[in-house]
Chain A
């Protein structure tokens, strides 16, 4: 399958501290690729590098012939990449409708997109005028995903979307990601929950010390728990 996003030898920094070192990754169309690794391995930094939110001083991040690392951060979503940050990072003082509007404005989408997104998360339709900071944790995560989907992305970056959620809500998030895969949306998922990774991913990239050590099909990971044990220390 053709790759929609390719990271080649990416060096990324927080200030003067190098976090990613020659980081390689490829994402196929309609694929769910999970990044697994210990805390501080560079998983979140990889997503932020794609979004232009950390300094990339080496390598390329190619999407549809465009090197995203050469774009200003605010131009990356216009290239069809949407980001759901760790901890949701909603604009908590803004209403649900205003948060969605921010997502819609990012790529000039309108009412049709908004209705389609609200059909995916009907509970948000009842909360449109509510301040987003007052939503429950699960509803906040839905809104974070809905806001990202308002971009109509073909690449979706999810950073620990199930963190701190009830099992029913985790199942709902998984369903949504699976549904997006059916529609051809490619997803990079940073996830600590190995069960979530194994049930959702097509491939798993094991991240260690700012590098992608290996990317393997999820069946191989299921068949050989040593993978998870080696890179995450559990399993």
Chain B
């Protein structure tokens, strides 16, 4: 295959990675930005979404699309509920203290992981894609489902952008993000906002996981890579910045796809880590972040 089509294929693969990463990282970024909580368990909400997607999709007989659509709704709702519960039981009791919540979410990580191991098992399990369509390009054929993942992520990110910038809920979230105390002085129930944001962040990770399980298999240890990459994206993009998150996810996803294909996956990881180091040194609030008050 000539360079051009090869590059196109690598870019498409990178875009799929970027799409899922953007959704996952957006969840982490929202929690980080609004609550100042470093949610180390974020990857486990991703894993939980994938595991639940397998459970829900296998519970439905018939066409795979039925189970997949059910998983697309059920998995994020259950994961959101679990996040809400953990916010009430753990984070709220710690007063959202930035240091204490890091330790607490590490604990949550292991609890969720071990629960998944106990009830789901150690096997990696596939989820059938809702449809098997191959888009035939002049140079190669490409998975229609992967293109669907890219489009679905774009739609969800646009929806998140609309909610954050054009609705009262989004305004309340942004006000809480910029100044918690003043937000309270203007009638914003910060505790409830935090609970909602934590659940929403986990739900975004779960949706991303449901979208990816027909491509990758569901496994109880699958939360580690998304967590690491999400942190990289959030650091580069900036705390709580939707625009920064999307741009950083594109940067990391595309470079991962392209550099991995033409050079090596290790070089892609090295460059991403180098970029994080540069951002931390020269612009700690991230490329599009705002210093917190």
Contacts and interface: CB of A to CB of B under 8 A. Distances in A.
Contacts of B143: none
A93 B190 contact: no
Interface stretch (B155-163, B170-178, B200-208, B220-228): B170-178
Contacts of B178: 91-94
Nearest to B187: A106
A52 to B, nearest CB: 8
A94 B174 CA distance: 8
Contact of A89 (B168, B174, B182): B182
B179 A103 contact: no
B194 to A, nearest CB: 12
Interface in A88-106: 89, 91-94, 98, 101-103, 105-106
A76 B182 CA distance: 12
Contacts of B188: 74, 102, 106
B186 A106 contact: yes
Contacts of A75: 187
Contacts of A92: 178
Contacts of A151: 186-187
Contacts of A52: 184
Interface in B259-293: 290, 293
B184 A94 contact: no
A93 B146 CA distance: 37
A53 interface: yes
B172 A105 contact: yes
Contact of A53 (B172, B174, B184, B187): B184
Contacts of A43: none
A102 B31 CA distance: 21
Contacts of B97: none
B121 interface: no
B181 interface: yes
B184 A101 contact: no
A103 B172 CA distance: 11
A77 interface: yes
B144 interface: no
B141 interface: no
Contacts of A161: none
Nearest to A89: B182
A106 B190 CA distance: 13
Given A92-B178, A93-B290, A102 B184 contact: no
B182 A85 contact: yes
Contacts of B168: 101, 105
Contact of B187 (A89, A98, A107): A107
Interface in A54-73: 72-73
A74 B179 contact: no
Nearest to A108: B187
A101 B171 CA distance: 9
A72 B290 CA distance: 28
A51 B185 contact: yes
Given A85-B182, A105-B168, A91 B187 contact: no
A77 B290 contact: no
A74 B190 contact: yes
B254 to A, nearest CB: 28
Interface of A: 51-53, 72-78, 83, 85, 89, 91-94, 98, 101-103, 105-107, 147, 151
Interface of B: 168, 171-172, 174-175, 178-179, 181-190, 290, 293
28 contacts: A73-B190, A74-B187, A74-B188, A74-B190, A75-B187, A76-B185, A77-B185, A77-B186, A89-B181, A89-B293, A91-B174, A91-B178, A92-B178, A93-B174, A93-B178, A94-B171, A94-B174, A94-B178, A98-B171, A98-B175, A102-B171, A102-B183, A105-B171, A105-B172, A105-B187, A106-B186, A106-B187, A147-B186
Rank and list the top 7 A-B pairs by shortest CB-CB distance, nearest first: A106-B187, A73-B184, A89-B182, A77-B187, A74-B189, A106-B186, A83-B185
Given A52-B184, A74-B184, 12 more contacts: A77-B185, A85-B181, A92-B178, A93-B174, A94-B171, A94-B175, A98-B171, A102-B186, A103-B186, A105-B187, A106-B188, A151-B187
